[in-house]
Structure 1
Amino acid sequence: MPVEFIGMISTHDVSETRPAHGPVVDPDYTRRFARAHEEAGFDRILIAHSSASPDPNQVAAFAAANTERLGLLIAHRPGFIAPTVAARTFATLDQFSGGRVAVHIITGGHDAEQRRDGDYLTKDERYARTDDYLTVLTKAWTAEEPFDHEGPYYRLADFRSEVLPVQRPRIPLFFGGSSEAAYRVGGRHADTFALWGEPLAETAQQIASVRAAATAAARTDVQGISVSFRPILGRTEDEAWDRAHRILATIKERDDVFGGRRRILPTGPGAAPQNVGSQRLLAAAAKGDRHDRALWTAPAAATGAAGNSTALVGTPETVAQALLDYVDLGATTLLIRGYDPLDDALDYGKELIPLVRQEVARRDARAADVARAAEAVQAAQAAVAVSGAAR
């Protein structure tokens, strides 16, 4: 089965190692960034959400207007607009973009961040609201007749939308989180469950938890799994690690900022994050800097695991094999972004993505050959059985 690659864009030139350059919304940079991902062969780009960042729906619409085929993964925080309004917003963009929209649901893992937008619910209440929200959202995309809904957080009567998604039965839903509540709600609603890059053993445990939650929700389909990393490439292993250590030194020098601005979340060395995903990354970092084939957790420790912050370090061949290790665990989607965001995206397209795609295609072809051979043996055995019975 082909693997999906997702990148991530921002509206100005900035990263943990690069001070912000230009205005917060830089149309020219955003256009170049989106097109770079399309040129590099990514399937989608993630547009992030925070209480201070530009509106991801507007960014996605701009990116769609400036690309031809690139998919859009729009981060969305339930609870700030009505699910019926969100359903029409995303369906409208899906129509204008020719069916390129997916939505990444982030319930919110930090109370302080939520309160900046006026949300004072507890974490458990937020997940309960997300559950109710997604029930309405998906029904709004799929219902052929007007419907009523009466849930713990949303009530509506006689709702019907004139605009439906191009994609049927509905727009794909991604879901992020690592808590039991996240597994429960995401296991019920998501098409793809998104994880941050942990060591292989811990990732396998998380995938098992997601699968168990989906089974408990009486689902019969198989959810996709997305895993996120920050690849650091070099022509040799030594060159890659030299670059990695320079990146880490820069991050530590800029400890008071994150992404070129003051940290949105109160995380960092010495601060304990509320969200379980960050806690898990810090726990992995506490066990050691290096794990498995190429996983490097030092950047997570240096940033307080503020987001996707574990790296894969090595030559393109080494990092490709490391990504394939996660594919072997069940990952169907790989989200990769660099510390030199635009240039790294282009490098991934030249040096990394083709290696992974070629190996996945080779494996798929081999599996198809094995399946055909097995069918041929079964057919021959059946023919012999029929011949024997005829005698």
Structure 2
Amino acid sequence: MTVEFLGAGYGNPSTETTPLAGNVFDPGYTREIVRAHEDHGWDHVLFPYASDGPDPAQAAAWAAVHTDRIRLRVAHRPNVSAPTFAAKTFATLDAVSGGRVTVHLIAGGLTSDQRAEGDDLDKDARYDRLAEYADVLLRAWTSTEPFTHHGRHYDLEEFVLRARTPDRARPGLSAGGASLPALRVGAQVADVFAFFGEPLAATAAQVELLRAFAAAAGRPTPRLQIAFRPIVAPTDEEAWARAHAVRARIDELAGPAAAPVATVAPAGARRAPGALPENTANLRLAELAASGERHDRALWTPTVAGAGGLPTSATALVGSYRTVADALLDYVDLGFEIFGLRGYDLVADAVEFGDQVIPLVREGAARRSETSHRRSGAGTTLTG
């Protein structure tokens, strides 16, 4: 199995441990971070979406000019543009970048951030809209003749997108989440489905649900992706010291006076301390954190409690380079092919992880593939 790694294509260095000190979007920093990922073994970078953030498509176009191979995962919410306009935007970006674009469709996790841009649909309706939006995108990218669409959310007459690159595959589509609507819609439309990092048993159960929804839709299961915050060091002891320092820094910044952490969530999307998050993925992570700090080989939950009332973040994988590589390989054994990862010192952590951990995971995945190939051929008898 081939494994791939997705990092952060962010516009500034702020994280839960580093308050925003400059512009929310710094083109020079974006160039630096995407080149760091490209130069140190990563396969993709994600350009996130928030109501008060930069346009991720334009940030990705800027990054494309300054890179050669790294693929561009561009977050997009259906409430902000018609699907025909989005089809043009991403087809153009795909042409500019040489076919490196995957669009990550977000139904919308925070009602407050949806309403900031005039979207009043409830959660279930947002997933219904996402499914219809994806259908129009796919038809726009693949239809050579005009098509008409009459749906609940969009109504088109004889639309055709001429601005496509005929000799290149369409942009990819990814989606994610943990609710049943998220899994159902993702199984229907996505090439890649992204999970948040949960323990192995819970993750396996979520994967089985996704597979069942895909089978019911008559589609292959989307490629599996999962997100963690890696905290690594040469030894386990050093990694745990780093982890506790990260948690202490998050606590230090917690409180209503904390500066906005722009790359984690929109500045206006903060929730009251102690309040439960409203989307299923973050609710599951909050419940997981309440159940205990350590799970499986290296999973650590205290990082899900964000600073200053921010929505919960992803779980961490803590340990030496080898320990964290082995933990990721446990998820490879569940069928995961893509790992969405970002540290707390975004550039430095991307370089260290890329140099020290990615090669170990690739080697382990290659050994698994070779072993599986040998086993599949072990009982074969050739005749003729």
Q: 2:296 maps to what in 1?
A: 292
Query: Once the two structures are aligned, what percentage of the paired residues are identical?
Result: 47
Alignment check: 8 A CA contact 2:9 2:46 kept: yes
Unaligned runs of 5+ in 1: 384-391
Note closer, same or farther for the CA distance 1:312–1:370 as it changes in structure 2 (3 Å cut): same
Spell out, residue by residue over 1:294-334, the C-alpha distance to the aligned partner (whole angstroms, 9 max, x if none): 00000113556835421000000000000011111111110
Q: 2:106 maps to what in 1?
A: 106
- Aligned to 2:375, which of 354, 370, 373? 370
Q: 2:228 maps to what in 1?
A: 229
Q: 1:353 maps to what in 2?
A: 358
Spell out, residue by residue over 1:242-282, the C-alpha distance to the aligned partner (whole angstroms, 9 max, x if none): 11001001001111347635744233640111100000001
Q: Does 1:322 align with 2:327?
A: yes
Q: Does 1:217 align with 2:217?
A: yes
Report matched runs for 1:295-306 at 5 Å.
295-303=299-307, 306=311
Q: 1:96 maps to what in 2?
A: 96
Q: 1:200 maps to what in 2?
A: 200
Aligned partners of 1:264 and 1:223: how far apart in 2?
33
Aligned partners of 1:224 and 1:30: how far apart in 2?
27
Alignment check: 8 A CA contact 2:269 2:310 kept: no
Q: 1:44 maps to what in 2?
A: 44
Note closer, same or farther for the CA distance 1:266–1:22 as it changes in structure 2 (3 Å cut): closer
Letter in 2 for 1:195: F
Aligned partners of 1:308 and 1:163: how far apart in 2?
38
Q: 1:388 maps to what in 2?
A: none
Report matched runs for 1:104-143 at 5 Å.
104-143=104-143
Report matched runs for 1:230-269 at 5 Å.
230-256=229-255, 257=258, 260=261, 263-267=267-271, 269=273
Letter in 2 for 1:362: R
SS in 2 for 1:20: coil
Letter in 2 for 1:378: T
Note closer, same or farther for the CA distance 1:166–1:193 as it changes in structure 2 (3 Å cut): farther
Count residues in correspondence.
378
Spell out, residue by residue over 1:347-383, the C-alpha distance to the aligned partner (whole angstroms, 9 max, x if none): 0111110000011112222333334444xx421xx34
Spell out, residue by residue over 1:66-85, the C-alpha distance to the aligned partner (whole angstroms, 9 max, x if none): 00101000001012211011
Letter in 2 for 1:260: V
Alignment check: 8 A CA contact 2:105 2:175 kept: yes
SS in 2 for 1:325: helix
Q: Does 1:272 align with 2:276?
A: yes
Spell out, residue by residue over 1:129-154, the C-alpha distance to the aligned partner (whole angstroms, 9 max, x if none): 11111111110001011111111111
Q: Give me the CA root mean square deviation.
A: 1.7
TM-score (norm: length of structure 2): 0.94
Letter in 2 for 1:149: H
Write out the 4+ residue segments of structure 1 that deviate beyond 4 Å after TM superposition: 165-169, 302-305
Report matched runs for 1:375-390 at 5 Å.
377-379=380-382, 382-383=383-384
Report matched runs for 1:61-210 at 5 Å.
61-165=61-165, 169-210=169-210
Higher alpha-carbon Rg: 1
Q: CA deviation at 1:47?
A: 0.5
Letter in 2 for 1:276: T
Note closer, same or farther for the CA distance 1:202–1:268 as it changes in structure 2 (3 Å cut): farther
Q: CA deviation at 1:235?
A: 1.8
Note closer, same or farther for the CA distance 1:302–1:80 as it changes in structure 2 (3 Å cut): closer
Aligned partners of 2:56 and 2:67: how far apart in 1?
16
Alignment check: 8 A CA contact 2:84 2:140 kept: yes
Q: CA deviation at 1:167?
A: 7.6
Aligned partners of 2:139 and 2:175: how far apart in 1?
17
- Aligned to 1:309, which of 310, 314, 319? 314
SS in 1 for 2:162: coil
Spell out, residue by residue over 1:29-72, the C-alpha distance to the aligned partner (whole angstroms, 9 max, x if none): 11111100001111100000011111100100001100010100
Q: 2:348 maps to what in 1?
A: 343
TM-score (norm: length of structure 1): 0.93
SS in 1 for 2:381: helix
Unaligned runs of 5+ in 2: none
SS in 2 for 1:18: coil
Aligned partners of 1:94 and 1:167: how far apart in 2?
12
Letter in 1 for 2:222: Q
Aligned partners of 1:143 and 1:372: how far apart in 2?
41
SS in 1 for 2:254: coil
